[in-house]
Amino acid sequence: MFAKRLISGIVLVILAIAVVGTGGFLLFAVTMAVSLVGLFELYRVMKIEKTPLAAVGYAACVFYYTLLGLHGQQYVTLMAIAALMLLMSIYVFTFPKYKTEEIMAAFFGLFYVAVMLSYLYQVRLMPDGGYLVWLIFLSSWGCDTCAYCAGRLFGRHKLAPVLSPKKTVEGAIGGAVGAAVLGFLYAQVIGHQMMAVDDPDLACAAACGIAAVISQVGDLAASAIKRNHQIKDYGHLIPGHGGVLDRFDSMIFTAPAIYFAITFLR
């Protein structure tokens, strides 16, 4: 099991470097594909993956990415309202086939998975995006590693004892501090190449620290959904890691966090 997890992890890192490093249409297409798979996994947990509600969610996801690709972000609110109207129309005209919770799950999934994950592509599009996009991975994966180490060494107080008994407050703090340090070190190496960031050291360190705190909320949120529905993993697509949402749960939160942090810190 460990060998399978290690090998698939290495393959994921290589693919991430190739896709994110290339950027452009390749990153756009991969991000949309990952969003659709993640949306399917979430809808499967909610038991609506093959319903008209899910069809609206999938279509809205594709339409959202089309707007993104055509630089039509100003129409996203209109798209969201149209998707909600369609969902409510299905709810009304098929009543009582679907429950209110299923309508909300279909709409929630569109933003939780598709919109939030799209910020991986949007950060890559920013000025200096070729450098800044790696902060998403540093804050997410770096936080996980630092939190684990800090928790093992200093962990005493439970962070969320019912939801995740092994996570500690000390580990959470260590993860955030460790991610900030990684961001600072990254800026020390790459910062001189950034033309659109006034103080790369401060911006990268602060952005990674902020995103690391938020990433832990994302990780716990994904765990909470699984606990509520009594499942271990969202899927089995990635050997040893589970589904897309199991691997990208914290990144769903760190991608928009890095985008907005850099927007205000640059």
Number of independent structural domains in the chain: 1
In tens, the pLDDT along 41-64 reads 999 999 999 999 999 999 999 999
Q: Are 45 and 231 in contact (CB under 8 A)?
A: yes
DSSP codes of every residue in 43-74: HHHTT-TTSHHHHHHHHHHHHHHHHHHTT-GG
**Structure-block tokens of residue 172:** 């959470």
CB atoms within 10 A of CB 266: 17
Q: Are 235 and 245 in contact (CB under 8 A)?
A: yes
Amino acid identity for residue 9 in this structure: G
| Predicted model pTM | 0.92
In tens, the pLDDT along 139-178 reads 998 898 899 899 888 888 898 888 888 889 999 999 999 9
In tens, the pLDDT along 173-225 reads 999 999 999 999 999 999 899 998 889 999 999 999 999 999 999 889 988 99
Range of the domain at 186: 2-265
Q: With bands split at pLDDT 50, 70 and 90, how would you rate the model's confidence at 261? A: very high
Average pLDDT, the chain: 91
Task: Look at residues 48, 19, 24, 21 and name the one whose alpha carbon lies nearest to residue 34.
Answer: 19
Higher pLDDT, 137 or 4: 137
- 5 CB burial (10 A radius; 0-12, 13-18, 19+): middle
**Structure-block tokens of residue 140:** 């997410």
